[in-house]
Amino acid sequence: MSSWFETATNVASSPRTDIDVSQSQLLLAIGVCPKRSRGANGKRSFTLLELLMVIAIISIISMMAVPLLVQRPTAILAYELEKLTTILAYLQQRALATNQEQVLVIDAVRNEYRVVSPSKTVTYSLAKDLEWGFISGAYGPPSNPITPLTQVSTFPGSNNLFNIKIIPNGNISPGAVYLTDHLRRVMGALTCSISQVSYIRAYLYNSGRWHLCNLEHV
């Protein structure tokens, strides 16, 4: 009792230049800032309280980071599906406006897709973490998944090149194409079913089931 009281008295009576050191001594004396213990080699070591605080901070950072790491592949996949949907919708309108066939070529080897028109060809690459492919054991097509997936696309083609054709009246050749991330954690599909009016649909595969993708809310 007298030890920290005497220290406090010394702080009050000490010159202004020594007040920082004296305040630290006062805090140590009353136990507000416990002094680090010394290890067997004589060096100061961390207290249990300090170690617990570090562990708590690391745990909080981990809890914040893990959901972002999980969501990142899905977000990239959804972005690519939105991009493909937009390009196909544009080609559909262009076919109607020009009365000329438009073609989107899927290159499953180079992980690219090319817009082929009478005037020019434009090549796009999939996002860095994505590739044309599917998760082993999954079923398709997404609208009626009863057949095990065995190929990247059911659109017409050969040698890992698949053609999505849009004829002058705006109809799109029916089929599906699948893409996934390199680790096969997530999968998506772009489809066009057989009907009088062609509809482009995007799907995401989650928990063993296909879900129609609302690209505005992914």
C-beta separation of 185 from 175 below 8 A: no
Token code pair at residue 4: 């920290």
What is the identity of the amino acid at 145?
A: P
> Which whole number is the average pLDDT over 164-169?
93
51, part of any domain: yes
> Which whole number is the average pLDDT over 159-184?
93
7 and 106 housed in the same domain = no
89 and 144 housed in the same domain = yes
> Which whole number is the average pLDDT over 40-46?
57
pLDDT of 27 above 50: no
85 and 187 housed in the same domain = yes
Whole-prediction pTM value? 0.66
The pLDDT of residue 10 is 54
63, part of any domain: no
Q: Between these two residues, 52 and 98, which has the higher pLDDT value?
A: 98
User: Which tens digit of pLDDT belongs to each residue from 58-68?
Assistant: 767 656 655 54
> Which whole number is the average pLDDT over 105-123?
90
- pLDDT classification of 195: cutoffs 50, 70, 90: confident
26 and 79 housed in the same domain = no
Q: What are phi and psi of 204, to 5 degrees?
A: -120, 140
129 and 192 housed in the same domain = yes
98, part of any domain: yes
- pLDDT classification of 44: cutoffs 50, 70, 90: low
- The Cα–Cα gap between 179 and 152 comes to 8
Query: Reduced to 3 states, what is the DSSP secondary structure of residue 188?
Result: strand
Residue 166 half-sphere exposure, CB side, CA atoms within 13 Å?
28
Which CATH number belongs to the domain containing residue 180 in this structure? 3.55.40.10
25 and 118 housed in the same domain = no
> Domain range holding 46?
2-56
14 and 44 housed in the same domain = yes
- Domain count for the chain, please give it: 2
44, part of any domain: yes
- The Cα–Cα gap between 177 and 157 comes to 12
162 and 88 housed in the same domain = yes
Query: Angle of helix 19-30 relative to helix 2-13, nearest 10 degrees?
Result: 160
